[in-house]
Amino acid sequence: MANRFDRITIEDRAGFHVLDLGCVDIWDGADLSLLRESLQLLIMTEGHSAVGVDLSHVKYIPSGFFGMLYDWRERGVDIRLYDPQPNVAAMIWFRQFAEPVGGGVYDLVGENRIELPPEGQPGYREPDEDELFAATTALAR
């Protein structure tokens, strides 16, 4: 019987242990669970402090993936992302926290690389006319 970890390959790329799910183009909860468990094994059990994820086939990633990686980054693990598809590289989270190092490789950084305009902030909504009127009236006083 096949082990679910048989779906994932791990290879060394310049000192980074890189996880690859293969030709999966849309990751779902099961994929994220497999990645989470694999990272846990590499980092906590095997003691690796530099890991990566191959994104060459992925066209959509749930935002929870980035949060998971960022949690590891905050714990001091070096995270590298390899060959993201244009859809992934265009995601706000990716643009904020992934620094290009060349050749389709990105390092996850600990601080925002770009400042988002208000409309890019979580929870942003356009104010309605009454709110705008109240704000300008308050400023005029």
Domains along the chain? 4-140 (3.30.750.24)
Residues 134, 77: Cα–Cα separation, whole Å:
48
What Rg, from alpha-carbon coordinates, does the chain have? 19
Instruction: Name the residue with higher pLDDT: 41 or 141.
Output: 41
Q: What is the value of pTM for the model shown?
A: 0.73
Question: In this predicted model, what pLDDT tens digit does every residue of 84-138 receive, in sequence order?
Answer: 999 888 888 888 889 999 999 999 997 765 555 555 555 556 666 665 556 555 5
| Amino acid 132: pLDDT | 54
Residues across the chain: 141
Nearest to 99 by CA among 114, 117, 118, 86: 114
